A and B are shown apart, each in its own frame.
Chain A
Amino acid sequence: MSIEPFNKLVKLAARAFYDDITAKGDNQPKSGRSDNRGIAVVVLDALTRRQWVREEDLAKDLKLHLKQLRRTLRFFEEEKLVTRDHRKETAKGAKAYSAAVAATADNLPGRDGEEKIKLHTHSYCCLDYAQIHDVVRYRMQRMKKKLKDELDNKNTVQEYVCPKCGKRYNALDAIRLISFEDDSFHCESCNTELVAESDKLASQDIGDGDDNARRRRREKLRDLLQKMEAELKPLTDQLSRVKDLEAPDYGTLQAWELRASVVARASSSDPTGNDSNRSGQGGTPMPFLGETKVEVAFSGVEEKGEIKSENAPMKVLPPWMIKEGMNLTNEQRGVVKQESNMEGTSASMDMKDEKKLISQEDDAKNLQDEYVKAYYAAILQRQKEQEEATKREQDLSANSILTDVDPSSSRKRQRDDDGEDVEWEDTPTAGETFKVDLNVEAAELSGDEEDDDDGIDWEEG
């Protein structure tokens, strides 16, 4: 699931850049109680655990005042971390959202109780992971560039400011600013002498640019740059980790709702769907694509089935069919043993087994012994007959068996993966419910589709 690294990225970025952002405006008095630095981090963290969320609900969950939350969210919207959607909706529209939420995020408590909505403008918000990725990268790039430029004085245009009227000039204006009285720069409007503006990043305590000051400033900048690189190391690491991953995308609010409601319907008709649904919904829009995907797989299977049936006359099935069946029961293992003898694999093992059996029975009664011997002899006899029969067949189909080794192993793997293969075989008869099942399966097994395909091929063959 690709959402985890992105969530981590968001959390790291929140702590790195939005740690001391206050949600309050500047005009409000700042007392100890209303100091709400760090609220931005809390909100972002909360959003990583949600998809689209109604802002009222988020405020309730975070126990924040709605206005405060809105202010924070507006700030994040400006920072391009969050997408928001506002719409006027009736109780019905709100219900649609509630239904969608109930279907997807059952870790959000206290959702169902509030159906009291009239025609209100509701705001929803959601993290925009792809954009966050870009924003964070851009921000770091800008920080680094600014420091570096200032460090080696590249592309920096010196600025001058008039101490009296505050008018600003830069070096490109220099030719107009020279006064011929004393060779220094003078303000155009009030004719006071201009002072070079000291660099913004490099400290105010250092006055105008005498030589020592400049050197100190450079050192300070270098320190700053190093510190920045050290402190943002986790973030850069996470960025590089996330670089090639596809960012999770919930789409617009409408698309998300639609998708969620479809999934909700699917899960309501499927008794076991609840659990798998959640896992499918957690990260990717998989359940939606699942439907089409499965259909494609099926058509592919049918095609392959036809091809197989064409091949069928050429390939002799019995040898490995027998082997497959005999693995199951102990009694019939003798046959397998014989066959494997013939193939020259694990012969000694089986012989030992046999001996052990015989010795045990020696300890028991002679009668039984006799009987067993006779029985074994009979079995042996029959096996030999079978051997000869199969030998002929196998000589014919030796090549095909060899090639079949791989599919059989893959089948075993697949069997380990999912015990409920039965559903797959039943599916062609079922109608509506069968589709739903497929959805769920696809959502679950989105990772190992190749395995599924292999398994199907093999069974059809």
Chain B
Amino acid sequence: MFFHIVLERNMQLHPRHFGRDLREKLVSKLMKDVEGTCSGRHGFVVAITGIENVGKGLIRDGTGFVTFPVKYQCVVFRPFKGEILEAVVSMVNKMGFFAEAGPVQIFVSNHLIPDDMEFQSGDMPNYTTSDGSVKIQKDSEVRLKIIGTRVDATEIFCIGTIKDDFLGVISDPGTTS
């Protein structure tokens, strides 16, 4: 699920950036530092949408670096148990398959794949129904439901299922492109 929230961060800026475009430098450094990171509490920071305010800088003794407390708005993405996501399959093996929904990695184990789909090993490992009409392989798009999340301080990993109504492959790379 996506959220638009305000976060705060203390930015350290090198003295060489002090000048006319100090503020721009600060923002671009913030984006570089923050976007794409993951915190267990808020999820993945997808994008910074604006700066709320920049506080007074504090010069650190010895180094000359200045610390600015920056409040910024950003979009975060945090997966929840029970959430339905669309994801791209990144890897298939006999234990199941991995899929990615943006920054989140999801593992679907083979007992959470419908019973009528069987693993086919080979050059392009895949799960196929007995009549061959549905195939899950690398780069397939699947709709899945998250049934468990593992949230660390800097990492979120999910396990999902496609064994439910309206879940499974939503488009085959062979047919769409």
Contacts and interface: CB of A to CB of B under 8 A. Distances in A.
Interface of A: 153-158, 160, 171-175, 178, 183-185, 196, 209, 211, 214-215, 218
Which of A173, A174, A175, A214 neighbours the largest number of chain B CB atoms within 10 Å of its CB?
A174
Contact of A172 (B91, B116, B125, B157): B157
B151 to A, nearest CB: 10
Given A175-B105, A215-B115, A196 B110 contact: yes
Contact of B111 (A153, A155, A178, A184): A153
Interface string B70-110: 00000000000000000000011111101000000101011
Contacts of A171: 96, 107, 109, 148, 159
A153 B161 contact: yes
B150 A153 contact: no
Given A158-B109, A211-B118, A178 B159 contact: no
Contacts of B107: 171-172, 174-175
B164 to A, nearest CB: 9
A171 B98 CA distance: 11
Interface residues of B, number: 24
Contacts, number: 63
Which of B95, B105, B115 neighbours the largest number of chain A CB atoms within 10 Å of its CB?
B95
Contacts of A215: 115
Contacts of A178: 91, 93, 98
A157 B95 CA distance: 13
A457 to B, nearest CB: 63
A155 B110 CA distance: 14
A157 B111 contact: no
Given A158-B109, A211-B118, A183 B93 contact: yes
Contact of B112 (A158, A173, A211): A158
Which of A185, A211, A215 neighbours the largest number of chain B CB atoms within 10 Å of its CB?
A211
Contacts of B170: none
Main secondary structure of the interface of A (DSSP, over half): mixed
A154 B145 CA distance: 11
Contact of A156 (B94, B111, B157): B111
B112 A153 contact: yes
B42 interface: no
Contacts of A154: 147
B25 interface: no
Interface in B129-177: 147-148, 150, 157, 159, 161, 163
B163 A184 contact: no
Given A158-B109, A214-B111, A214-B115, A174 B159 contact: yes
B40 to A, nearest CB: 14
Contact of A196 (B95, B105, B115, B159): B95
A160 B115 CA distance: 19
Contact of B115 (A157, A158, A175, A218): A218
A209 B148 contact: no
Nearest to B161: A153
A216 to B, nearest CB: 11
Contacts of A209: 110-111
A175 B91 contact: no
A88 B62 CA distance: 72
Given A174-B98, A214-B111, A218-B115, 12 more contacts: A157-B148, A157-B159, A158-B111, A158-B112, A171-B96, A171-B107, A172-B150, A175-B98, A175-B107, A178-B93, A183-B125, A209-B110
A158 to B, nearest CB: 4
B156 to A, nearest CB: 11
Contacts of B159: 157, 171-172, 174
Contacts of A175: 98, 105, 107, 157
5 contacts: A158-B109, A160-B95, A171-B96, A172-B150, A211-B118
A436 B30 CA distance: 87
Interface string B119-131: 0000001000000
A174 B109 CA distance: 9
A155 B145 CA distance: 11
A154 B159 CA distance: 12
Nearest to A195: B95
A156 B96 CA distance: 14
Nearest to A198: B111
Contacts of A157: 147-148, 159
B122 to A, nearest CB: 12
Contacts of B116: 211
B95 A155 contact: no
B174 to A, nearest CB: 21
Given A171-B109, A172-B148, A184 B94 contact: yes
A174 B95 CA distance: 9
A103 to B, nearest CB: 58
B91 A183 contact: yes
B111 to A, nearest CB: 6
B127 to A, nearest CB: 11
A255 to B, nearest CB: 47
A85 B115 CA distance: 54
A242 to B, nearest CB: 36
Given A158-B111, A171-B148, A211-B118, A153 B163 contact: yes
B93 A184 contact: yes
A233 B91 CA distance: 47
Contacts of A185: 95
Contacts of A174: 95-96, 98, 107, 109, 157, 159
